[in-house]
Amino acid sequence: MKNTIANMADVVSNDKTQSWFYSDIVREHFFHPKNFLETDAPEVEFNAMGKVGSPACGDELRVWMMVDPATEKIKKFWWRTFGCGSAIASTSIASVIVTENDGMTLENARKLKPQDIMERLGGLPPRKFHCSVLCDKALRDAINDYYRRSDQFDKIVNEAYRLIDPVAKVTDHDIEEAVLEGAQTLEAVQTKTKVGIGNPGILPAVEELIRFYREKYFG
């Protein structure tokens, strides 16, 4: 099993001289993932569920949470993914982050960023950044699901319309659609959406989203 894993494309360096170039923390969470489920969580053990991706695209992630209604803290967080080693490690460490120290509130969990996940992992290769984004999106989807189940509809944030550029009024959904329509570079996405043209400070975030959607749909 170790030889098989060591020869997978995402854990072998380009020059084939290193069989593992991730941090020790990534290695630990890849080989010994925390809070992982092999099957779906029983209905009685969670009160929120999130999902992102699709097996047809290569990555799918499902998460289940038990939230304390009195404090809105995440007490349990389980997950299952069809993704790569980086997706496994990212979700594993995220499950620890949101449940440690008596659990993170939903308000604070929603503020968790992919950069926070990567920092706890000791970094990820640039082409694997989208794995932490995948986990980030599944967590927020589960938070929305909790608010939906508890009839707190005013607290639901529609991810499809997350505003990326307040000047050009461009959302993450607009960028996703541009990539699906064939825009593979920042310049091509800007041509379609005008994102960042009058607001260059948001360009790094735009480039991260382009990489995520490009790898999600086209590999």
Q: Which of 49, 97, 131, 183 is catalytic?
A: 131
Q: What's the pLDDT score for residue 4?
A: 38
Q: What's the pLDDT score for residue 21?
A: 66
Q: Which residue positions in the chain have pLDDT lower than 70?
A: 1-21, 54-59, 126-133, 159-160, 219
Domains of the chain, each with CATH number or no CATH = 2-155 (3.90.1010.10), 159-218 (1.10.10.1100)
Query: Which one-letter amino acid corresponds to residue 68?
Result: D
Q: What's the pLDDT score for residue 136?
A: 84
Give Cβ neighbours of residue 83 (< 8 Å, ≥ 6 apart): 53, 58, 59, 60, 61, 91, 131, 134
Give Cβ neighbours of residue 137 (< 8 Å, ≥ 6 apart): 52, 159
Q: What's the pLDDT score for residue 80?
A: 92
Q: Which of 6, 8, 57, 156 is catalytic?
A: 57
Q: What's the pLDDT score for residue 19?
A: 47
What would the two tokens of residue 93 be? 């460490």
Q: What's the pLDDT score for residue 196?
A: 92
pLDDT in tens, 92-107: 999 999 999 999 999 9
pTM for this model (two decimals)? 0.66
- How many Å apart are CA 75 and CA 120, to the nearest integer? 20
Active site residue 135: no
Q: What's the pLDDT score for residue 98?
A: 97
Could you give the 3-state DSSP secondary structure of residue 65?
strand
Q: What's the pLDDT score for residue 160?
A: 60
pLDDT in tens, 2-23: 333 333 445 454 445 554 567 8
Q: What's the pLDDT score for residue 113?
A: 83
